């Protein structure tokens, strides 16, 4: 049991999103109003104090209430690099938010900013948690019934078998808090489900996952076709493959939208169904977009870091706040460290590659 706390403290990087700080502050208001955070939780808005003070007044946040402001005048831009930001932009809202987390002044960070900088700067400043070597970005994806966790979707493109086992463990703990599945099933993404396919790295990962399988409910290798079915709840892959998957799927969804749009307008056969079709497409898009759950956590660091899509509106950002809060409430960090330690102990007994 974790000791009872006075509530969770969440820092919201308000300056990184495409829609600007007003949408971030509106998301904080929404999270409070809709009870996405608990009555004892606090949200710290990080960014330009003058701007945030005006926005806070609009939303009638009381001074000394559940929302406070932490000044950070700098902004991380799309072309910035992690090292460039850590050296030259120490006052950027993202860096300051990460620093608050490192110093233990908050328990989680939510950011809509530059993914590459968040992964790089977050890893350098917070360091990986005991038992993990690399962080992993975990996306929640739709399937026929419900959702599944896909990780890594871009933090660590060159994952070793050990990293992949760590991804399995962290993804499973995250699926418990984010999807509410008590015993999520874990699958290893590969190109053929018979043993011996997919190459040496996959074989070694498969052997290690089997060895720790009792603790993680490992169901074995899964193929690309399986992920949308009901085969497993956590799909483990490296950050190269995972990133290409989510971008290719998103590309397909946008292509279909572009293909259907003009057809509905110009083809009289389709025009008849146009009115009925558009709400359906909107619904499909909502169902298919990886951002539906509003945030992808950067797992494996000392502290909870949630990445929300750069184009997120207040609902997307509020959803990332909720996911971060749920991970804190579930003690996800502590549970990941325990499970990583147990898995590493098992892996240490395996024969070397």
Residue 76 within binding range of a second copy, rule CB under 8 A: no
Question: How many Å apart are CA 95 and CA 74, to the nearest integer?
Answer: 9
Instruction: Show the CA angle centred on residue 233, arms to residues 232 and 239, nearest 5°.
Output: 100
> Residue 139: enclosing H or E segment and its boundaries?
strand 136-142
Contact call for residues 149 and 140 (beta carbons, < 8 A): yes
Under rule CB under 8 A, which residues in 133-162 are in contact with a second copy? Answer: 142-144, 154, 157-158
Buried b or exposed e, range 100-114, using 16+ CB within 10 angstroms:
bbbeeebbbbbbbbb
- Smallest separation (angstroms) from a second copy to the CB of 209: 17
**Matching residue, tokens 């948690």:** 129
Cα 156 to the center of its chain, rounded Å: 14
> Residue 76: enclosing H or E segment and its boundaries?
none
Question: How many Å apart are CA 265 and CA 272, to the nearest integer?
Answer: 10
- Smallest separation (angstroms) from a second copy to the CB of 301: 20
Question: How many Å apart are CA 337 and CA 334, to the nearest integer?
Answer: 5
Question: How many Å apart are CA 141 and CA 289, to the nearest integer?
Answer: 7
From 85-93, 190-198, 305-313, 341-349, span contacting a second copy (CB under 8 A): 190-198
Backbone angles phi and psi of 72, in degrees to 5: -155, 105
Interface mask toward a second copy for 230-249; x: CB under 8 A = -------x-xxx-xxxxxxx
From 44-52, 102-110, 258-266, 317-325, span contacting a second copy (CB under 8 A): 258-266
Member of 93, 111, 190, 302 binding a second copy (CB under 8 A): 190
DSSP 291: G
Contact call for residues 121 and 287 (beta carbons, < 8 A): no
Residue 282 within binding range of a second copy, rule CB under 8 A: no
- Smallest separation (angstroms) from a second copy to the CB of 176: 24
From 32-40, 132-140, 221-229, 306-314, span contacting a second copy (CB under 8 A): 221-229
Residue 59 within binding range of a second copy, rule CB under 8 A: no
Question: How many Å apart are CA 280 and CA 228, to the nearest integer?
Answer: 19
Residue 205 within binding range of a second copy, rule CB under 8 A: no
Member of 40, 124, 254, 286 binding a second copy (CB under 8 A): 254
- Smallest separation (angstroms) from a second copy to the CB of 192: 7
Closer residue to a second copy (CB): 270 or 350: 270
Residue 257 within binding range of a second copy, rule CB under 8 A: no
Member of 19, 219, 256, 350 binding a second copy (CB under 8 A): 256
Member of 251, 282, 286, 311 binding a second copy (CB under 8 A): 251
Note the residues at the interface with a second copy (CB under 8 A): 116, 142-144, 154, 157-158, 189-192, 197-202, 223-229, 237, 239-241, 243-256, 258-260, 263, 269-277, 279-280, 284, 287-288
């Amino acid at each position: 049991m974790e000791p009872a706390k006075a509530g969770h403290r969440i820092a919201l990087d308000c300056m990184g999103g495409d829609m600007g700080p007003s949408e971030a502050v509106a998301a904080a208001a929404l999270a409070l109003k809709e009870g996405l955070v608990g009555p004892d939780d606090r949200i710290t808005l990080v960014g330009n104090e003058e701007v945030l003070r005006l926005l806070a007044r609009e939303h009638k946040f009381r001074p000394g209430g559940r929302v406070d402001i932490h000044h950070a005048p700098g902004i991380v831009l799309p072309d910035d690099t992690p090292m460039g930001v850590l050296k030259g932009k120490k006052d950027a809202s993202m860096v300051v938010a990460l620093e608050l987390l490192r110093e233990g002044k908050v328990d989680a960070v939510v950011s809509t900013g530059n993914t590459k900088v968040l992964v790089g700067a977050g890893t350098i400043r917070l360091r990986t948690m005991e038992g993990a070597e690399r962080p992993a970005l975990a996306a929640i994806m739709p399937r026929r019934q419900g959702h599944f966790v896909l990780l890594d979707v871009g933090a660590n493109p060159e994952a070793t078998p050990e990293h992949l086992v760590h991804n399995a463990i962290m993804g499973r703990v995250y699926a418990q808090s984010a999807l509410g599945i008590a015993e999520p099933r874990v699958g290893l993404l590969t190109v053929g489900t018979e043993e011996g396919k997919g190459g040496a790295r996959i074989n070694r990962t498969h052997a290690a996952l089997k060895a720790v399988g009792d603790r993680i409910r490992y169901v074995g290798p899964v193929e690309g076709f399986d992920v949308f079915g009901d085969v497993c709840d956590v799909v483990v892959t490296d950050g190269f493959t995972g990133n290409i998957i989510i971008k290719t799927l998103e590309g397909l969804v946008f292509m279909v939208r572009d293909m259907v749009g003009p057809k509905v307008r110009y083809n009289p056969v389709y025009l008849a169904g146009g009115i009925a079709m558009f709400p359906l497409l909107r619904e499909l898009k909502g169902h298919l977009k990886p951002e539906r759950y509003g945030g992808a956590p950067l797992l494996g660091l000392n502290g909870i870091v949630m990445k929300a899509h750069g184009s997120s509106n207040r609902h997307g950002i509020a959803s990332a706040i909720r996911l971060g809060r749920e991970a804190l409430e579930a003690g996800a960090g502590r549970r990941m460290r325990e499970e990583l330690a147990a898995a590493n102990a098992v892996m240490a007994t395996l024969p070397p590659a």
